[in-house]
């Protein structure tokens, strides 16, 4: 299949997932696996916002630093960050020192607290936007031409309506791929088959 590579460990992966050790671990263990943990959902949406304009590999390499800096993305704690915390983060060389993105995470943590109060959980809210299955023969060329699902646009619009920042449709779609709302592993990828099995057995959160 176009875009599937066999690693030196004999495993077939999407081409990008075999580029580095960090990508290999993330591709095999996380990308496309369904998530219902609110803190991890918030982390992934925050990291996707930081990734805008950068490579995902840059984010993965700094992920531990991001976690230390943002209270492991426990959004109830991040929601209490003040201007002093923002200034400290701007001086932290371990992360991306982008004021807009840092302030967006703090703002979004506050919005996440509100959303959980209104909807019960981030998971219940996010999984309402799960796209309908669109199984098709998916190689690298087809993936490049694949239209973004309407649900990604709808989720981005609603998050913006609720006051979230750095949650454009492209960022939200990448988030949906990462947390298993969509399985965009290429056909022939072994992790893709595992993700599909995980999605089949995944119990959707209440209210979805």
d(CA 182, CA 178): 8
Which pair of structure tokens corresponds to residue 133? 């299955």
d(CA 69, CA 2): 39
129 is known as an active-site residue: no
114 is known as an active-site residue: no
31 is known as an active-site residue: no
Cβ atoms of 205 and 34 within 8 Å: the answer is no
From 26, 129, 164, 173, active-site residue: 26
d(CA 48, CA 205): 22
From 23, 43, 48, 151, active-site residue: 48
The three-point CA angle 10-15-18 to 5° equals 55
Rg (CA), the chain: 17
From 16, 23, 31, 56, active-site residue: 56
Number of Cα atoms under 13 Å in the Cβ half of residue 137: 3
> If you ran DSSP here, which 8-state letter would residue 95 be given?
S
Q: Give the position of tokens 């426990």.
A: 74
d(CA 87, CA 77): 17
Cβ atoms of 5 and 12 within 8 Å: the answer is yes
d(CA 183, CA 198): 10
- Which active-site residues does the annotation give? 26, 48, 56
């Amino acid at each position: 299949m176009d875009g599937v590579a066999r690693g030196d460990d004999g495993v077939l992966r999407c081409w990008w997932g075999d580029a580095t050790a960090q990508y290999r671990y993330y591709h095999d263990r996380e990308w496309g696996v369904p998530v219902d943990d609110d803190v991890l959902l918030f982390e992934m949406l925050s990291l996707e916002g930081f990734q805008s304009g950068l490579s995902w590999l840059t984010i993965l390499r700094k992920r531990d630093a991001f976690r230390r800096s943002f209270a492991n993305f426990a959004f109830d704690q991040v929601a209490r960050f003040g201007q002093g915390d923002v200034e400290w983060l701007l001086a932290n060389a371990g992360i991306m020192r982008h004021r807009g993105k840092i302030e967006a995470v703090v703002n979004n943590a506050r919005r996440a607290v509100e959303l959980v109060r209104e909807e019960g959980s981030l998971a219940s809210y996010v999984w309402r936007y799960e796209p309908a299955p669109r199984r098709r023969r998916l190689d690298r060329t087809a993936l490049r031409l694949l239209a973004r699902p309407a649900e990604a646009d709808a989720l981005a619009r609603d998050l913006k309506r609720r006051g979230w920042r750095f949650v454009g449709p492209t960022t939200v779609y990448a988030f949906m791929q990462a947390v298993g709302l969509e399985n965009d592993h290429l056909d022939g990828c072994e992790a893709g088959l595992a993700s599909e099995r995980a999605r089949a057995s995944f119990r959707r959160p209440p209210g979805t």
